[in-house]
Amino acid sequence: MTPLSGAARPEALEGAAKFTVRDLDFYYGDFHALTGMNIDVRENSVTAFIGPSGCGKSTFLRCLNRMNDLIPGTRIDGTITLDGEDIYGPGVDPVDLRRRVGMIFQQPNPFPMSIYDNVAFGPRLHGIKKKEELDQIVEQALMRANLWKEVKDIMERGGLTLSGGQQQRLCIARVLAVQPDVLLMDEPCSAIDPTSVQKVEDLMAELKSSVTIIIVTHNMQQAARVSDETAFFLQERQGEPAELIEFGRTAEIFTSPHDRRTEDYITGRFG
């Protein structure tokens, strides 16, 4: 059992750790972006990452499914394990990792194809070709994403014809169709209308029984509403790496934070 270093000392919580991050440092070329990250993300819970803009939340999130690999010149120190396995271990296929750790982005990004093809894209990618099987997966995924009723009669329409909120749920359905263990959501609600935000938040509550959810959000009320645990990130000075300041039960972070800086942020002293 490695003793934890750094500021993040989550309380002991129930449930197995899905992600375990130890001593993570992250670099964009020469720029040291993140330092000393330690965190355990529990299975079947919702974890929220909060903090001011540019504090590395999204960067950290993207370490968890190795999306940062796509940016040339990035480098990582420390370990991240998923179910105890090092996801940066030698020979690990980031492609397979991303199938298991799905991701939802700030901007809804349906592919320029029909609703059906959007959802079927992932399963097809992974070798499912039979029509009945695909139909079933698509229907289930759309149902889980609470979109089925709205689109079941217009499956052949382009994904881009849907409203912003529907598009975001389509993206969630698209991810669910490949049956990920984890869902990373990078500010999923900042580009959609309030009614749709409600729907997406409800959806998260329903999904967490089967999927571990990590959400990056700017909206503290949202973090308080949807998450079980909250991590607060901060880059204290320009040019220095961002740190994980505090991590714990959401209720505690919002009511009695241990760290002054967390308190300052939550009570609104930072942007």
Sites of contact with other proteins (CB under 8 A): 1-2, 4, 9-13, 16-18, 20, 22, 40, 43, 65, 67, 70, 72-73, 81-85, 87, 89, 91-100, 102-107, 109-113, 121-122, 125-126, 158, 160, 171, 174-175, 178, 181, 184
What token pair was written down for 152? 């079941």
CB-nearer residue toward other proteins: 53 or 198: 53
Least distance from other proteins to the Cβ atom of residue 195, Å: 23
Least distance from other proteins to the Cβ atom of residue 226, Å: 20
How many CB atoms within 10 Å of residue 22?
18
**Pair 248, 230: CB distance under 8 Å:** yes
Q: What does the DSSP 8-state code read for residue 239?
A: T
Give CA–CA dist 155/146, Å, rounded.
15
Least distance from other proteins to the Cβ atom of residue 87, Å: 7
Gyration radius (Cα) of the chain, Å = 19
CB-nearer residue toward other proteins: 211 or 235: 211
Q: Which amino acid makes up residue 48?
A: A
CB-nearer residue toward other proteins: 43 or 225: 43
Least distance from other proteins to the Cβ atom of residue 129, Å: 14
CA distances from 192 to 167, 171, 187 (A): 9, 13, 10
CB-nearer residue toward other proteins: 140 or 220: 140
